[in-house]
Structure formats: C-alpha cells, structure tokens
Structure 1
Amino acid sequence: MNRAAIYHEPDSRYCFAISDKMLVIRLRLAKEDKDAQITLVYGMKYEYYKRQQRIPLPFVGCDHLHAYYEICLPLEDVRLAYIFHVKQGEEEFYYSEGGFFDVYDFDLSYQTYFQMPYVNAVDIHRPVEWMGKGTFYQIFIDRFARGDFEKDDSYIDMAWSDKPTPRSFAGGDLTGITQKMDYLEDLGITALYLTPIFQSLSNHKYDISDYYAIDPQFGTSMALKELIAEAHYRGIKVVLDAVFNHSSHLLPEFQDVVVHGRESKYYDWFMIDGDYPTMKPLNYETFATVAEMPKWNTSNPEVQAYLLDIAKYWIEEYHIDGWRLDVSDEISHEFWRQFRKVVKNANPEAVIIGENWHDAYPYLQGDQFDSIMNYAFSKAILDYVTKKAYDGKWLAEALTNLRMRNTWQVNQMNLNLLDSHDTHRFLNQLGGDRDDLLLSLAILLTFEGSPCLYYGTEIAMAGGYDPDCRRGFDWEKVGTTNPFWVTVRDILRLRKTEKCLQEGVTEMVADNGVFMLKRHTAGVTIELRVNGGNENHPLPQVECLLNHLKKGQELLPKGFALLKYETERS
C-alpha cells in the first residue's frame, strides 16, 4: 500500500461534529488502494487503553488521486480516542497520530491515538436550516425588471434590449423585482441573491459611497421593505451583497482623507503610502487596480466597528436573510470572526456566503463563513461537458474532491453555480448548445448544496464576459411556449418539492460514459442519469420524474433522466 498517501487530521474536515453527539470521521488513502478494508477502533479516551469498539469505515468515493472513507459516528461520550486498522490482502497495520504500527500497544495508546478531546457545543458549525432546501436566483438589479416608472429616469442611457457597456444603465429596480415575485415563486425559487443595492455611481454598485442609503435608481427604503415582505410571504429568502473589501472613492470618509491627508481621523481607515492619497500615481490599496475603489483597512478596529454596524443594521431594520461577501478572501480573518458573531446574534438563521473562487477551508470551519460561491463546481461541470477526455468517471471524481474539501455542513450550504455577473454566460461557454446547458442544470439542481441560478438562465440568455453577461432580461421568452423554460421550471420545482433532492445522502458512480448522481433518504432514492457518451443508454423500468432527450426506454446522447425508486437504504 502507498502509506505516504494515507492521511487523517483530528478536529478538521477529516473529523468534525455535526451535532452535540454526532461526529463525522474521514480517512484518505491512495486511489489505487480503494479496495482496502478500513476499521475504526474507537472508545472513550479515559478508558481507551482497556476498552475499544470496532466499526467498518465505509468507502465513499475517489477523486483523481485519492480514495475516501467516511462514517457518521454517534457518541455516548464526547471525549473520543480512535485509531484506524487498515487491511489489504496480506498487508495490515494500524494508523494513529504516531504513524504506522504492525502491532498497536493499547496500554500506551494515550501517547499516540487520534482524539477529539471534547465536543463543545459552541464550536459546532450549525447549518442554516433553510439552506440547501431549494434554489437561489441571482439578480443583477439594473437588468432584471423595471417597476417604478415615476422615478427620475434621466440616468437611463440604453434600451432594455441593447448590448450593455461597462457604464450603461437600463433602469431595473427593486419594485421590478417585487412585481415579478409571482413569477419567481412559480418558477420554484426559494431565495434571492441581489447584487448591491447601496448608493453608488455605477450600474453594478460595487463602489459604494453610502452604506446606509439605497441607491435612488433602485428605489427607496419602502421599496426594499415591500420586496422583502412579498418574498417572505412566499417563503423566499433575501440575501444582500456586502462590499466590505473596498468602497467608492466618493465615500465621505475617504474624501476627508483626500482633503486632510494624515491629519484626517480616517487616514488609517485606508492603506495609503504617502501623506495624501493620489490616483496618479496610485499610492493606496484598492480593489484590483481600480483607483475609484479604495480598500478598507479591516485590521483597524474602528473600520471593523463601522462595517459591523452596517451588517447588523440591514438585518435588524430590514430583516434580510443573510449576506454574500464580495472579495471575501482579501479581508482579515479576524474581521470575519467578529462579523459572524454580529450577524448570528442578530439572526442565527442568517446565512454568510463568501466570494472565494478557490479552496476556502480556512474560512469554513464554523467561525467565519457558512459557505462560499462554489466556482470550482462550475469549472468541473464545464470541463465535463466541453472536454472530450473528461467522462462521467472524471466528473464523479472531480465532484468527490469538492465534497471532501469541506464538512457536511458546508457542503449543504455551498452556493453552487454555473455562472454569475462575474463570468461569461454558461451558454456561451458551451458554444450555444442548449442541450448541454440543460444537462448542466440538471446536475446543478440534483447535487447537494444550495444551487444558484443566474437571472435569465431559465430562458437560455446568452452573453460574453462582463458587461455582456449583464444584459436585460427578455421577458418575451418566458412561458409555456418556450420548451427550454418549461424544462428548467420542471427541474426547479422538483428541487423545491422532493425532500430527497434537498437532504439525501450523495452517491456518484459512472458506467460506460453515463454519469449517475444518486440522492438517498430512508426508503427513497432519486437518481440523475446523464448520457455523456455517444450511444443510447437503456433506462431501468422505474418511475421517471423528468427527462430530456429520451426515446422510448433509452436515453439519447446529451440526454438526462431523473428516476425515483424505493430502496432498503436507511
């Protein structure tokens, strides 16, 4: 066996509590050793030397390099000691914190066992219960719908159907979203993620000049309250976008520094190399290299207090259901730890979603974010659909790798997506192939987590990179005369109504080019089959909830089917 590949770490993503007396334990082996028999040898740590229990550790899947074993272990005593017994063929040994042992001395086990010393309730990452139960819908507000025709619209400089530019305005607003709430509910949406609503000169509002003011282009305080009330009436959550990495250069505090330099009481709120901030040459930290977006010094306690008050205000005053955090990986961990306490004290069920494009494990241990925007998921789906060398087996391994990056709680709450306001439209990345887009959506909406649909995907909106991915929504393409829209709505409704798709244990396998994603609950399995091969694939004689490109009892290439059947799994 490849012992160098064997890995476990206590009190980590390899060992974590999901409730007061329930622990998940994982072990990693080399992929070529996936047929090994693993036994967890565990017990109460103060009696471990004389009394142990043994239980098989089930195999749960492989990624491209490793095999993973995992168990959800109920605890009678939350002071746990454990080691692993590994057997493959004639080779067997014990694996502990002290390394590998052919014979393990339990009398001296206190020196080398793995341990979870104590499961403290305050350390458990409690999932936000409504996350994972349905589907998010991301709205770029200026381009979704206009509802207020009494507002000053002199700022609007493009027709709704025009191709947008970085600085053009179409007129979408909060009232427009409220007026489309029946549509969103009918579509099967259960949560909205709105791009920033705060006062700003731009159409995207990621350069905020007043964090307490709703931009008049989007509406008033009353318009936001009406939107949230209408959403909540339908059981739809509302998450706002927090831009706490940077502000607008027009922010009054930054302008005070522009005028008074080092003498300003706000000088240390930003990171400036000189007596005064200058745009040319640029001498202060910014978002990317954008001079109009000075970066907050979130290591400064005064800045922390200022931003934390903002986070609390919108939850308490408007009853929003959480925050999506812009450029979250460039902000101090200490700030996010304080942010979590403030947000959860205001509303324990408010979700915190970071914009981290890579493995974000340091932020996802229960003390900072609940989840991230899972761009790694979108890349895995894109590679699977567009690269001929990547088959169903490859996809199962890629998605297993993403699952093993995180705890169960994070996987339940991760905001899985295909595209967003920061990417090309997924349809464009697929070369305009709508069948590929539908099977990608089927995977998105079946996979565990909190799927997020970017506005207009349900009508196959096209668009290149920003700003082209931010076109005006074409409402004429909505309805039962559009078969693409009907299929997307059907999948969304299944996600909303089928408990198995919300809470089911995940299993992924592949066979002859067919990718199978199964979700199991007690007595029920829903299985997605995706035909990524070149031949027709025969389907079993079970209930078919929904399908695309199915002929008789066969699934055509690029087709998918959602199957439901009873099982004995508990």
Structure 2
Amino acid sequence: MSIHTPDWVKDAIFYQIFPDRFAMSEHVPKPPHLEPWDDPPTIHGFKGGDLLGVLEHLDYLSDLGITAIYFNPIFCSTANHRYHTYDYLHVDPLLGGDEAFRRLLDAAHRRGMRIILDGVFNHASRGFYQFNHILENGPQSPYLDWFIIRGFPLHAYDSMHEPNYVAWWNMPALPKLNTDNPEVREFLMEVAEYWIRQGIDGWRLDVPLEITTPGFWEEFRRRVKALNPEAYILGEIWDGAQAWLQGERFDAIMNYSFNRACYGFFGGQWLDVSQRPGGFSLERLDGVQFSQRIDYLLGLYDWQITSAQYNLLSSHDEPRFLTMVHGDTRRLRLATLFQMTFPGAPSIYYGDEVGMEGGRDPDCRRGFPWDESRWDHALRSDFRRCIQLRKDHVALRRGSYQALAADASTYVFARVHEGEVVVVAFNVGDAEAEVTVDLAGLLPAQAILHEVWTHRSLTPTEGKLSLTLPALDGRVFVWQANR
C-alpha cells in the first residue's frame, strides 16, 4: 500500500518538554511543599513547572530554532510525570489547566510551531473514575469490564498483596485498560479525536505494543487522520518496528536505535557502557561498524517513514547524552551535528542545548536552569548553528543519503536533493585524520564545494575529495547548482 507521512515533520525541529521541569510561571497558583527547583529530582516530588511557563519562554524556543514541541503527558494525573492519568479530557490544574493549554497552543501555532501530546492509552490510574467506581462498588459496578479484574476486594492500596487486576508492569497504581471492551475502545478513540479537534498536531503513544487488541491502532489512525490527515502519529517502540510502520498504524517511532548508534560512535572511549537505557546493552562502534549500523537503520523502512522518524539523543526515560559521555561536550556537539544532518525529524530534550546532565530517571528530569550563568553558551550556539544548517539546506531534510567513507575514527556521507549536494565528515578520534572520498557521479566536473562556517572552497580532483579532519571535529561542505 502507499505510505504517507505528514509532510511538515520532514522539516520539523522538535523539542521535548517534561512539563513539571521546564519553566514555572507566577501566574499559575502553586501549592505548598513543592520540591526546590534546583534540588536533585526525586521520584515523587513536584517542582511546579507549568504550561504558562512554557508560553512565557516561546521566544527562547524560537531563537533556538524549534518548530515543534513534544510534551510529556499534561492531563490530570497523580504523578509528576503524569503517566498516571485520571482525567483524559482536562489538563492538570497544576500545569495551569485547560485555559493555559489553550493559550499555549494558540501562541505556538501563531509562531508556526506544532504541538504533539503524549497519549497514555494502555493504562490509567487508580484515580480514574471508572476504576474508582469499581473500588467503591465491587462486582456490582457497571464499569467492571473496563479493566481485567481477578478478585475482590481489589488490592489497589494493599502493599501486602500483589494487585489482583492486570496492571502495567504489575504496578498497582497503573491498572491496565481492557481495550477488548468496545466501550473502552470507543472512549479512547473519542479522547484522541477530542484533542485533535482542539487543534493538537499529533500524538506520541506510550507503550503501544502493550495494546494487543486486533485493529485498535488501525482504527486509531483512521479516526485521527479523518480529522487531520497531517496529524503525526508517533509510537514509543524502542527497537525494530517494521510491522507497525507499514502505513496502517504509525507514521514513525521514537528512534532509540538511532540514539544507540550515536552513543556507540560519538561516545567512543568515553561512553559509559555500564548503562542499559531501555534495557538495551551499549557497545562502542568504530566508523565502519557505525556505517553498517546506519545502513541497516536506513534499510528498515519505507523512505516516507525514514524521513519522518523521531530522532533523539536523550529523553525522559534514560540518562542524558552528555552524562553518558562523561560530560564531554565535544562528543555531544558531533552527535548533534549528525542528528541535524540525518534523515528524519531531530528532537532536542529540554536543556541538552545548555549542557544539562542527568543520570537515570529521575535524575534525567532536573529543573531547567534559567539562570544563564549556568549555561554552556558555546554549546547552545553550536546547537543553534546546527539547527540553522538543517533549515538552510533542503538536502538535509529531504535528500537521499549515501555513505562515502568510513574507517576506525571517521565517517563521511552525502545528502543529495535537486541541485544540492551536502557532504558531512566526522572524525571522532583524538588525532587528525586524512580521508579521501569519491564524489564521482554526485558532482559535475569542476564543481566547487564550499565549506560551511569557514567559507573555504574545495575542488575535487578527478572526482575525489581529499580532506584533513581535525581531532573530534565535524565538517560540512555544500555544492549548489545555482551558486
């Protein structure tokens, strides 16, 4: 079948925001006993970030070059991460409520920014009305079949017993919704439709593999796309997802395979291989192994899917990239340059651009440091520069991809699109490296390549380009037919 993904995603620069930790507005009332903003985060603590805080910092995001925001859950919930949903149709009052979201959505759209929300449809919380009804009424509740109950009384708050109902990872706070029940299925479809009608630009779907009801995600796609054909449907799948990316379910996945490859090559000897983000082991990769891994990833899916993949380096579910490479900002810079020149939509996890660090959850969810004296300004400038590079060259967003050279410490590739060729070269080694790449067939005779940022000009000899790459450096060269 023909595969179509939202066209705007191919040009998007995403920014992931964990709402409780990005920014706090004085216009949203705060409860007592908030965790101090700059203290290390705890599993259950709330710091008080809200959506008006995001609204008040849209200038910051625009200046960085952001064109789309992915929010971790914003609906009413009993947890700081809000994956424990108890009301799917209203925004959590601690975040400013429905009005704050309406103002933020409208302001973002006026700037041309898209907004996608996190949909947690596999499980709810103990505070969810239908589950509470069962707690109060037992087997007489008309909502009994909304969950998979295995006995009474429910052990929802009984620490001495395992939950006697199906729960996500057997956590009593997260009762699994029975999506085989048509009422539950219809409820969730209507939730998805409601927020699309409110104007959101797509859904990121939490643990979608755990909903095994036949046809659920196909129906979800049909109903969402009927309201907005350009809505982005993004699945949280950590590994190969060929069965899910055939044009009938999702447009893309959170591309953790991409970030593991980047860890391996750009992290190099500094990579903390003792970590297992998402339960996956990490391995250091030389340039040849990295090239093979990238070729494999590019061959997994239809090009429409590849061009819409959500390519991340860090997220709320794993240690930050900078922490994984022991604080070496040079390696984060190189990985970011690769991310911004690779097919698919790049995503920045809030604060990576100013040098935020963080280990395993909850440490990777620290409060954003709005005191600019704590920023790595040079790093932020590099992020802005790499984002602008992607915006300036359509080949980086929509062009074909061709690996050109790889050895122990180097990797070179080209992106090609309608009269534009962009060559990107990396050296992750600690010493200068010499690389020769064959550009025959990519460039016309006597073509001149211009190095981005230095404006140096290079002319291939008999189709071959010789490069001297400094240690831990990345270079970008551009040829344009009309230049």
CA distance in structure 2 between the partners assigned to 1:248 and 1:427 by the alignment: 33
Which residue does the alignment assign to 1:523?
A: 419
Deviation at 1:170, TM superposition (A): 1.3
Q: What is the match of residue 19 of structure 2?
A: 141
Query: Alpha-carbon deviations, 1:121-159, whole Å to 9, x = none?
Result: xx4221201012021100001111112x24331245222
Asked which structure has the greater RCO (Cα within 8 Å, sep 6+), the reply is 2
Aligned pair in 2 of structure 1 residues 478, 495: CA closer, same or farther (>3 Å)? Answer: farther
Is the 1:459–1:478 contact (alpha carbons within 8 Å) kept by the matching residues of 2? no
Q: Is the 8 A contact 1:132 1:503 kept in 2?
A: yes
Matched with 1:284 is 165
Asked which structure has the greater CA Rg, the reply is 1
3-state SS of 2:173 partner: coil
1:497 and 2:392 matched? yes
Q: 2:124 aligned with 1:124, yes or no?
A: no
CA distance in 1, matches of 2:401, 2:66: 22
Q: Which has the higher strand share?
A: 1
Map residues 310-389 of structure 1 onto 2, 5 A cutoff. 310-316=191-197, 318-332=198-212, 333-387=214-268
2:404 to 492, 509, 521: 509
Q: State the distance in 1 between where 2:349 and 2:393 align.
A: 22
Q: Give the equivalent residue in structure 2 for 1:543.
A: 450
- Is 1:173 matched up with 2:50? yes
More helix by share: 2
- Give the deviation of 1:480 after TM superposition: 9.8
Letter in 1 for 2:206: D
- Which whole-Å CA distance do the structure 2 matches of 1:562 and 1:180 have between them? 31
2:170 counterpart SS class:
coil
Q: Which amino acid aligns with 2:138?
A: G
Task: Report the residue type matching 2:472 in the other structure.
Answer: K
SS at match of 2:95: coil
Task: Tell me the distance in 2 between the aligned counterparts of 1:496 and 1:419.
Answer: 21
Deviation at 1:533, TM superposition (A): 3.0
Q: Which runs of 5+ in 1 are unaligned?
A: 1-122, 548-552
* Partner Cα separation in structure 1 for residue 184 and residue 299 of structure 2: 35
**Aligned-partner Cα distance in 2 for 1:479–1:226:** 30
Kindly provide the CA deviation profile for residues 212-259 of structure 1, in whole angstroms up to 9, marking residues without a partner as x. 111111012221111111111111100000000111111110011122
Note the 1:287-302 alignment, pairs <5 A: 287-302=168-183
Aligned to 1:437: 332
| % same residue | 38
TM-score (norm 2): 0.87
When residues 138 and 253 of structure 1 are mapped into structure 2, their CA distance, relative to the original with a 3 A threshold, is same
Return the alpha-carbon distance in structure 2 between the equivalents of residues 154 and 266 of structure 1.
Answer: 33
Q: Which residue of 1 aligns with 2:458?
A: none
- For 1:511 and 1:323, how far apart are their aligned partners in 2? 37
What SS does the aligned partner of 1:452 have?
Answer: strand
Distance 2:288 2:220 in 1: 40
What are the residue-to-residue correspondences of 1:148-187 with 2, within 5 Å?
A: 149-187=26-64
SS at match of 1:288: helix
Cα shift at 1:403: 1.5
Deviation at 1:509, TM superposition (A): 3.0
1:497 deviates by 2.9
Deviation at 1:387, TM superposition (A): 4.3
In structure 1, C-alpha distance between the alignment counterparts of 2:307 and 2:416, rounded to whole Å: 14
**Structure 2 residue 306 is matched with structure 1 residue 407:** no
Q: Which amino acid aligns with 2:143?
A: Y
User: SS state of the match for residue 152, structure 1?
Assistant: coil
C-alpha RMSD of the superposition: 2.0
CA distance in 1, matches of 2:481, 2:405: 20
| Rounded Cα–Cα distance in structure 2 between residues aligned with 1:299 and 1:401 | 36
- Contact 1:536/1:557 (8 A) holds in 2: yes
Q: Which residue of 1 aligns with 2:106?
A: 229
Q: Which residue of 1 aligns with 2:440?
A: none
Looking at structure 1, the residues matched to 145 and 50 of structure 2 have their Cα atoms a distance apart, in angstroms, of: 35
Shift of 1:517: 2.6
Counterpart for residue 21 of structure 1: none
Answer whether contact 2:27 2:52 (CA < 8 A) is retained. no
Q: Would you say the 8 A contact 1:156–1:168 is kept in 2? A: no
- Cα deviation code 1:8-40 (max 9, x no counterpart): xxxxxxxxxxxxxxxxxxxxxxxxxxxxxxxxx
* Partner residue of 2:94 out of 217, 240, 265: 217
Q: 3-state SS of the aligned residue for 2:20?
A: helix
Partner of 2:293 in structure 1?
A: 398
C-alpha contact (below 8 Å) 1:169/1:203 kept by paired residues: yes
- Counterpart of 1:488 in structure 2 is 383
Q: Which amino acid aligns with 2:182?
A: P
Distance of 2:136 and 2:233 partners within structure 1: 36
**2:93 is paired with a residue of what secondary structure?**
coil
Q: Structure 1 residues 150, 565: CA separation in 2 closer, same or farther (over 3 Å shift)?
A: closer
1:556 aligns to 2:470 (yes or no) = yes
Q: Please state how far the C-alpha of 1:384 moved relative to its aligned partner.
A: 1.5
Task: String of CA shifts for 1:484-524, please: whole Å, max 9, x gaps.
Answer: 11011110122223211110111123244321132111221
- Segments of structure 2 that go 5 or more residues without pairing to the other structure are 270-283, 437-447, 455-466
Kept in 2: contact 1:285–1:294 (CA 8 A): yes
> Distance between the aligned counterparts of 1:312 and 1:543, measured in 2?
48
Partner Cα separation in structure 1 for residue 88 and residue 385 of structure 2: 39
Following superposition, the deviation at residue 478 of structure 1 comes to: 7.9
Instruction: Give the SS at the match of 1:413.
Output: coil
**1:61 equivalent in structure 2:** none
The residue type equivalent to 1:556 in the other structure is P
Q: Paired residue for 1:91? A: none
1:98-127 alpha-carbon deviations (Å, 9 max, x no partner)? xxxxxxxxxxxxxxxxxxxxxxxxx42212
Asked whether the equivalents of residues 146 and 175 of structure 1 are also in contact (C-alpha less than 8 Å), the reply is yes
Paired position in structure 1 for 2:272: none
SS at match of 2:115: strand
- Structure 2 residue matching 1:475: 3-state secondary structure: coil
Deviations 1:395-444 (A, max 9, x none): 11101111111111110111111110011011111111110111011111
